[in-house]
Structure 1
């Protein structure tokens, strides 16, 4: 029997990547699908959507329209993920050729969805925390593991709590079992995922041993074969001294950390309902830098939040100067449906927002060029995990710089010392020593 072909497009964050892996595993094992890169030959086309950035709804319908044009006769089209969660059955009205809609907290129902005409499941509090998904990983070198689902924060700009529901932690025994299985299959790096990973352990579906994020990190680092542990995203509010001490001292925890600032001004942070002040954020960043001099700190920043004054924006510039982030994801504020901030007075004109974003990004690029120039001649331990164009092989240093050398697939899965000869803003080029 010819196997059925599955094409999947994943938009958005690492959690979406993991959700896609879970759906692929279910469809392979229970429905006999195999993956294809060629949409035109697929029997089933899935788009796993993100609703965090601007205009995801328009983007969704233009993508789905393109899929319909390129699909073969009889192919099914499913819309999954966060935009599916908040639009639900509305999607059928605008795109009647879509076969099913599956929200972000409902991906364990994928086989039911494929077999049920016009299936819709968008319950944001459906509990998948103890569902045993099959094994599928897009990389043999890295294992993404969900440690929690949903988010209890009430950030006024963010749609995620409305698409992924309240926060529930995955039981530690399931996480440890999944990590041990990955290690047995040769995976050396774990990548832990959650909207707020360091809120881990606050709420489980049923009775489980009490454990916080720091304790979970300790337990995972005891697994033989695991050499590196990364995680995203922690919340600055919950970066207590216990967590920072473990981050600094545990030799398996990679020395890079994502600290989403959002704004450097305490009043704006209060309007955003972030729960911390400018001073708290700086204190946590300075503490981490003092304990781990080689750390890389990345961040997210929103400029032109409703009501943000010029001097409040300058507070964000001040935090940039003081922390000197190794990586920054920055955006103009855009109103999201279902969020409080969309109704706030003081929405900022686009030209002011654009000017602030340009100023922030230009200054960050200058800082980045100084950071990058300092890497010349340094030797990093690089875990190689991807082939690049023109005979390149790339991997990450322990503190998350992307490093590329000339080589071929025999380097993949190995950790080797690399001296940086030509540092560039996005990639450090070097050679194995």
Structure 2
């Protein structure tokens, strides 16, 4: 069948982030239910009226969400969770209590997709409604595992509520095609409330022969500098302490809209608080697109509120293999990136990716890769065995025997684990930013400016703060620290507004850090610029197509309510965990304003209510006068 938006008429559209009104019938695939008649609209309405707790009432159900893959996928899941929560749905980690499962998938590696297949089978066996999102359905929409389930594309996450509602009604919905990017100001439920994963662009410019991600994410599409800066301001006001810039290739940002990464980075850095309370982390960047901007990027990485850490995938130490991968750079150019940044940025650390056993890789090619890793002693290396992805050119190449691939993977892992990147840090004093619990459930996790993972003991109230620590011991993957002093991150200079700070052109005051030499070796598994240009196959469905008519007025009212709720939050005060209320920005800047913090939206709502009440009164008086006249 055609994608759902292909059946819409009069696509005048709505502002970004709004649920589009249905002005015509919507095509869906009704799921086949054994021994159950199809439910008609009338019966659904009757059920809702007679049973207020009926699971058919939208917004009363519980959703289980599972995310695979990179930080970009994580951000997409947070946006979907935010919209579902905004419309009343509860989110749960318990699969049994959930009324519907939502799986956000990754297509980079075979193991990730195999885990997805297993989860889909479990969901079907549990007879739960299922929605599959992410790169797998977008890039391989004709997979057998996706038959009979609803799917939502990577650029359709702002319509996840519609897909969930229709799926709960028993329909199969497919939303895949779109030409515009989802809005950045959608509701969001962060996995870590102190970390904002900010997608700066989608897709890429490359055509790597092994990559499946471009099948899903497509060609490069960048958000504007203004929209990204606006999002940064919002999340800083929300109390975020780390901002992670994420994309399939951060370095390619802006090439489709006439800007570049340094322009964006400088604009974002200008918004960071002057007390050093919020740090910026630049995401994965391929070598070809940063070679011409190395000096400018180095300047940003030197900024006291930007982590001196960058993920630059090399994939192989052999030019012959890089050529077969169509990576569009040489080993020499990769070395230029590493050498330049290491020279210009104090304490700079670079993480990289390696694929072992790419088709055609010889012992000599692999030896060159090992030599490269030994030379730079990267504190973080993502080592992967080659997995052929269906539909990619590399899948048709002659494969290296699996036994050889595994042997090379083990050898490279052994080389990497022989490094001791944090030796020499013991006794040093560092400033760290604390944002999460350690996996042991005892320590808190902070990071130095070089993004070294530091484990400290302390109360939960230290989350979201910064501290000075003395390193007491070092391990292979992290170091342990003793807290000397903590910074109260809420003590911002209230006499100077953020706009005044921006107007002065001053950057963040220097953060306190000493002799940083190492970088943390942990970050979410990246999409690793897995790029491949390929046309999408057209989905052909033999299922019958039914039509559901959603009244435009219902849809528009739902959009309006969601918009008003979001705008209301922007004007209302924010509540602390202790129950006190932080005044809104408007009230801080205009102390003479109403103590109730009324904003334009509140005024509009009150005016609308009063107008409605007045209309009702006039109508009642009119009817009463007619009755009197008739007598």
User: TM exceeds 0.5?
Assistant: yes
Given the alignment of the two structures, is residue 11 of structure 1 paired with residue 71 of structure 2, yes or no? no
Name the structure 2 match of 1:391: 442
Name the structure 1 match of 2:310: 257
Given the alignment of the two structures, is residue 362 of structure 1 paired with residue 419 of structure 2, yes or no? no
Please give the alpha-carbon distance, in whole angstroms, between the structure 1 residues aligned to 2:452 and 2:247.
22
* 8 Å contact from structure 2 (residues 359, 394) kept in 1: yes
Q: Deviations over 1:263-313 (max 9, x none)?
A: 111111111111111111111101111112411211110011111111111
Structure with the greater alpha carbon radius of gyration: 2
The residue correspondences of 1:264-343 to structure 2 (distance < 5 A) are: 264-343=317-396
Please give the alpha-carbon distance, in whole angstroms, between the structure 1 residues aligned to 2:455 and 2:442.
10
* 8 Å contact from structure 2 (residues 101, 131) kept in 1: yes
In structure 2, the CA distance between the partners of 1:12 and 1:32, relative to structure 1 (3 Å rule), is same
The residue correspondences of 1:57-76 to structure 2 (distance < 5 A) are: 57-69=113-125, 75-76=128-129
Please give the alpha-carbon distance, in whole angstroms, between the structure 1 residues aligned to 2:479 and 2:187.
36
* 8 Å contact from structure 2 (residues 79, 187) kept in 1: yes
* 8 Å contact from structure 2 (residues 354, 382) kept in 1: yes
* 8 Å contact from structure 1 (residues 264, 278) kept in 2: yes
In structure 2, the CA distance between the partners of 1:182 and 1:349, relative to structure 1 (3 Å rule), is same
The residue correspondences of 1:75-90 to structure 2 (distance < 5 A) are: 75-88=128-141, 90=143
Given the alignment of the two structures, is residue 228 of structure 1 paired with residue 268 of structure 2, yes or no? no
* 8 Å contact from structure 1 (residues 392, 407) kept in 2: yes
Name the structure 1 match of 2:401: 349
* 8 Å contact from structure 1 (residues 418, 430) kept in 2: yes
The residue correspondences of 1:14-413 to structure 2 (distance < 5 A) are: 14-29=71-86, 31-69=87-125, 75-88=128-141, 90-91=143-144, 96=148, 98=149, 100-116=150-166, 117-123=171-177, 126-130=179-183, 132-204=185-257, 210-225=258-273, 227-239=278-290, 240-345=293-398, 347-367=399-419, 369=420, 371-388=421-438, 389-413=440-464
TM-score for the superposition, normalised by structure 2: 0.63
SS of structure 2 residue aligned to 1:154: coil
Instruction: Give the C-alpha shift of residue 37 in structure 1.
Output: 2.0
Name the structure 2 match of 1:425: 476
Instruction: Give the C-alpha shift of residue 357 in structure 1.
Output: 1.0
Moved over 4 A (4+): 91-94, 129-132
TM-score for the superposition, normalised by structure 1: 0.91
In structure 2, the CA distance between the partners of 1:90 and 1:306, relative to structure 1 (3 Å rule), is closer
Instruction: Give the C-alpha shift of residue 171 in structure 1.
Output: 1.4
Which structure ranks higher in relative contact order (CA pairs < 8 Å, sequence separation ≥ 6)? 2
Q: Deviations over 1:207-253 (max 9, x none)?
A: xxx43111111111111436311121111112233433323432222
In structure 2, the CA distance between the partners of 1:222 and 1:131, relative to structure 1 (3 Å rule), is closer
Q: Deviations over 1:55-89 (max 9, x none)?
A: 44433221112234457xxx421111111213325
Please give the alpha-carbon distance, in whole angstroms, between the structure 1 residues aligned to 2:88 and 2:441.
35
Please provide the CA RMSD for this pair: 2.0
Consecutive unaligned residues of structure 2, counting only runs of 5 or more, are 1-51, 54-59, 485-631
Structure with the larger strand share: 1
Please give the alpha-carbon distance, in whole angstroms, between the structure 1 residues aligned to 2:248 and 2:336.
22
Deviates more, 1:311-320 or 1:113-122: 113-122
* 8 Å contact from structure 1 (residues 83, 103) kept in 2: no
In structure 2, the CA distance between the partners of 1:402 and 1:235, relative to structure 1 (3 Å rule), is same
Aligned length: 417
Deviates more, 1:374-383 or 1:142-151: 374-383
Instruction: Give the C-alpha shift of residue 131 in structure 1.
Output: 6.3
* 8 Å contact from structure 2 (residues 184, 231) kept in 1: no
Please give the alpha-carbon distance, in whole angstroms, between the structure 2 residues aligned to 1:328 and 1:391.
27
* 8 Å contact from structure 2 (residues 318, 366) kept in 1: yes
